[in-house]
Amino acid sequence: MSKLKIIVVCAILLLILAGCQLAQEIPAQEDARLAGVFITTDFIDWPQDLQVGQVIPVRRWGRIDFSDLFPTRRIYAEFDEETREFVFPDVEGIPFFTVNTPCDRGGILDVVVAMHGGEGISTAGNHVFFGDNATRVEMEGTIYAIPGSQARSSVYFNKVFQTAGGTVFMEPGGGGFSFHGSETEGSVFAQTLTETHTTTVNGVETTNEVSITINLSAMFSPENIALLEMDNDSRMVRRTSFAPDEMPETFYLDVQTAYVILETHRPRPDDPERVVRELVERGWNNNQWISTFSARDNGILVSSPTELIWPES
């Protein structure tokens, strides 16, 4: 009986030691922080790796470990030296993230915190706050899409991360939203992602906070845009029309123009003659910026800036 007890105790000790050794061999979780999102209009699907008849590995005292069956899906970004941006090869979408980005300061390599935003998202405000051993990033943007079942507009949010070594990657398969059920214009949905990431190096604790807010708004596709130049007596001086995707970067106004009326012909199913008008006054330095929208094939509306320039006299 005594020998049996000794054998049982030794067996338990061997299991404990084996478990400790196994725990030591498991690599530490990679130090990566949330940086933003990469927005796509199609769901990024992955093929199933699990085949019929595949043996499920059993580890750690008989408990099933599913980590090998469902490994983390990642798409790694590449840094474009010409545009100084991180891009995901062969994946179409809208970047909206803030990461540490390489830069060249007169031949000296450095790293700056830079926001990467793509065509199709209108930013409402991006702020980076630096403090003693703390950083906070706040990002907010709006995506405009055509409502209704005919446009079939959808967006999906894929989280973007950056490792401590500077590598940027995306984890596909995030949540999404469809504009199919929307029949009117206006705000329809908002998504906010937050994370607090804390690291300790040489006893010094550093905290990084990030908050990303994406607003989704429905807007019917513009069909025509007109600039109405008005004089001081509210008489029209000139009327110029453009296709939405042909708005110029710069538009010179007539010498008699006192203010401008921006007309956007944006028909709806129940109102095919709908026109949205906006008053644009003369800027303090004889110019003013306006933004107009044009639709893409995927149903996303892209904003384009135009500078209105008044003559000096």
φ/ψ of 24, rounded to 5, equals -70, -30
Partners of residue 130 on adjacent β-strands: 135
User: What's the total number of domains in the chain?
Assistant: 2
* Domain co-membership, 210 together with 241: no
CA–CA distance, 117 with 189 (Å, rounded to integer): 20
Beta strand extents in 57-185 (DSSP E only): 58-59, 63-64, 75-76, 78-80, 85-87, 94-105, 108-117, 122-131, 134-145, 154-163, 168-171, 176-178
The answer as to whether 14 is a domain residue is: no
The answer as to whether 27 is a domain residue is: no
pLDDT for res 184: 87
* Domain co-membership, 197 together with 285: no
* Domain co-membership, 202 together with 276: no
| Of 226, 217, 229, nearest in space to 244 by CA | 226
Q: Residue 29: how many CB atoms within 10 A of its CB?
A: 6
Mean pLDDT of the chain: 82
Q: Which of 187, 218, 249 is the last residue of a domain?
A: 218
* Domain co-membership, 194 together with 68: yes
**Among 114-118, 179-183, 224-228, 240-244, the least confident range:** 179-183
* Domain co-membership, 233 together with 213: no
- Dump pLDDT digits (tens) for 276-304: 999 999 988 889 999 999 999 999 999 99
* Domain co-membership, 85 together with 234: no
CA–CA distance, 39 with 176 (Å, rounded to integer): 9
Q: Which of 183, 201, 218 is the last residue of a domain?
A: 218
The answer as to whether 21 is a domain residue is: no
* Domain co-membership, 142 together with 188: yes
Cβ neighbours of residue 245 under 8 Å, at least 6 residues apart? 294, 304
Structure tokens at 313: 């006299």
Confidence class for position 22, pLDDT limits 50, 70, 90: very low
* Domain co-membership, 214 together with 291: no
The answer as to whether 57 is a domain residue is: no
* Domain co-membership, 177 together with 40: yes
State percent of the chain over pLDDT 70.
81
* Domain co-membership, 193 together with 230: no
Residue pair 174/180 in contact (Cβ under 8 Å)? The answer is no
pTM (predicted TM-score): 0.77
CA–CA distance, 246 with 192 (Å, rounded to integer): 34
The answer as to whether 19 is a domain residue is: no
Q: Which long-range contacts (CB under 8 A, 24 or more apart) does 53-60 make?
A: 59/22, 60/19, 60/22
Half-sphere exposure for 36 (CA within 13 Å, toward CB): 24
pLDDT for res 197: 84
**Among 105-114, 156-165, 267-276, the least confident range:** 105-114
The answer as to whether 15 is a domain residue is: no
The answer as to whether 248 is a domain residue is: yes
| Of 175, 266, 166, nearest in space to 222 by CA | 266
The answer as to whether 55 is a domain residue is: no
* Domain co-membership, 212 together with 126: yes
Q: Which of 194, 218, 242 is the last residue of a domain?
A: 218
pLDDT for res 46: 60
87, 91, 97, 102: CA torsion to nearest 10: -10
* Domain co-membership, 74 together with 175: yes
CA–CA distance, 215 with 217 (Å, rounded to integer): 7
CA–CA distance, 117 with 122 (Å, rounded to integer): 9
**Among 55-59, 125-129, 144-148, the least confident range:** 55-59
Q: Which domain holds residue 237?
A: 224-309
Q: Residue 140: how many CB atoms within 10 A of its CB?
A: 18
Which helix (H) or strand (E) segment is 24 a member of? Answer: helix 2-25
User: What is the side-by-side order of every strand in the sheet holding 224-230?
Assistant: 236-242, 224-230, 259-265, 275-281
Alpha-carbon torsion 264, 214, 173, 149, what sign?
negative
